Amino acid sequence: MKSNRHITLPAGFVAGAVRCGIKRREVEDVAIIAADDGPVPAAMMTTTNQVVGAPVRWNRRLLPRGHGLIRAIAVNAGCANTCNGPRGDRDAATMASLTAKGVGCALGQVLICSTGVIGQPMPMEKLRAGIAGAAAALSTGGDDAVARAIMTTDTRPKTAIVQGRLGGQRITVAGVAKGSGMIAPSMATMLVFVTTDAAIAASALHRILRTAADTTFNAITVDGDTSTSDTLIVLASGAAANRTITGGTDAQKLGGLLEEVCGALAEAIVRDGEGATKLVRVTVGGARSDAEARLAARSIAESPLFKCAVHGGDPNWGRILAAAGRSQARVDQDRASCKLGGVTVMRRGASCRFDLAAAQKYMAGSEISVELDLHLGSGRYTVLTCDLSREYIAINADYHT
């Protein structure tokens, strides 16, 4: 089987994944992504949930300011190593240590990520074999195995590649993501690994990462449940040999490429949301501020009644306005207007004449765009979400402890 390259496409990276039996399904479940020639500038964002997995604790101790020099990321799916007490922290340290040994680097250069069930101890014997196998498999052809290895309830791998030019050099930014449920990222998201061959200082990399996350991963929601394992990491090998970026327009340019990759991966996560059949773009405009637009857009995007209406193909704008009205954003119903797919269905808080059959046909489609204009200011924000289906219930009522 020919392997597609993505995260090893930027020069300077190798990847490998094997199956060690942590997942029940017969698929890869442990992976390593590494810089092949020593540690490189790295930036990281992690969940805002106060309950965090042992791997998140390890990574935060390693990179207290969110950036530094990193050689390798080890990741497993099937067990989140979260809520396992002191044993969880010991297992996380062992996971990092095994990776350092496998890759041949210092312990302080290894980040780790685990995703899966909460509250079950890591099966360390399986992991030990898995890390050794993944280290042995490191190559520029391991990309697809890594994309499969990090999946849990995901139905498909999620990858993105963007290229651009910086100071005469061609720059590649590539990423891989997992995420399908427990998606309401707040300052980070599920597991996302991005590589680039750009030369950039770690602190500058961290700044552009935070900016890119704000309009991408922090603007999606599947079910409003923020994960305890959310981690977003970017590694920059410098192999493109551009003049090392420390800020300025080059940082902005690279930030733009990074945002493109993050945006593509964020959208892929929502499209693969648990039980999702539709992609829904909720835009709130005319708010008193961008922050208020965000509050209203999130309230709509997380409303079970709205998500069910979308699933049923119902142009029910009343649920959109009601969800905004219960948010912390200022709403004046007598000014608000609402568009479905560009067609105004509500004006000044009341129904206006529109073609109901056409609206129903639009709502039956697979990509829905909703725009609520509050007519109170210039604040604007867009959140991506999906519909709420019986399949979401099936997945989450049956995904047993």
Least separation in angstroms between CB 357 and a copy of itself: 12
Closest CA to 17 of 75, 71, 100: 75
Q: Which stretch binds a copy of itself (CB under 8 A): 11-19, 21-29, 238-246, 307-315?
A: 307-315
The one-letter code for the residue type at 289 is S
Sole binder of a copy of itself in the list 65, 156, 165, 348 (CB under 8 A): 348
Least separation in angstroms between CB 180 and a copy of itself: 12
Cα 359 from Cα 135, distance rounded (Å): 54
398 binds a copy of itself (CB under 8 A): yes
182 binds a copy of itself (CB under 8 A): yes
CA of 183: how far to CAs of 46, 139, 205, 275, 324, in Å?
13, 31, 25, 13, 20
Sole binder of a copy of itself in the list 318, 335, 369, 375 (CB under 8 A): 318
Least separation in angstroms between CB 308 and a copy of itself: 3
217 binds a copy of itself (CB under 8 A): no
Strands annotated E in 132-168: 158-166
Q: Establish whether 48 is a catalytic residue.
A: no
The single residue listed with the structure tokens 């007490």 is 85
Least separation in angstroms between CB 317 and a copy of itself: 6
Spot the catalytic one: 189, 221, 228, 382.
189
Residues 55-74: x/- map of binding to a copy of itself (CB under 8 A)? Answer: --------------------
CA 356-362-365 angle, 5° bins: 145
Least separation in angstroms between CB 303 and a copy of itself: 6
Residue pair 233/192 in contact (Cβ under 8 Å)? The answer is: yes
Residue pair 116/150 in contact (Cβ under 8 Å)? The answer is: no
114 binds a copy of itself (CB under 8 A): no
Task: Give Cβ neighbours of residue 356 (< 8 Å, ≥ 6 apart).
Answer: 315
β-strands 231-236, 191-196 pairing: parallel
Between residue 10 and residue 49, which ones bind a copy of itself under the rule CB under 8 A? 48-49
Strands annotated E in 272-366: 279-287, 337-340, 343-347, 350-351
93 binds a copy of itself (CB under 8 A): no
81 binds a copy of itself (CB under 8 A): no
Q: Which stretch binds a copy of itself (CB under 8 A): 9-17, 114-122, 129-137, 252-260?
A: 114-122
365 binds a copy of itself (CB under 8 A): no
Structure tokens at 186: 């707040």
Cβ atoms within 10 Å of 37's Cβ, excluding its own: 14
Q: Which residues bind a copy of itself (CB under 8 A)?
A: 48-52, 80, 82-85, 87-88, 117-120, 181-182, 184, 186, 223-228, 302-305, 308-309, 311-312, 314-319, 321-326, 330-334, 346, 348-351, 356, 388-390, 392-401
Active-site residue list: 189
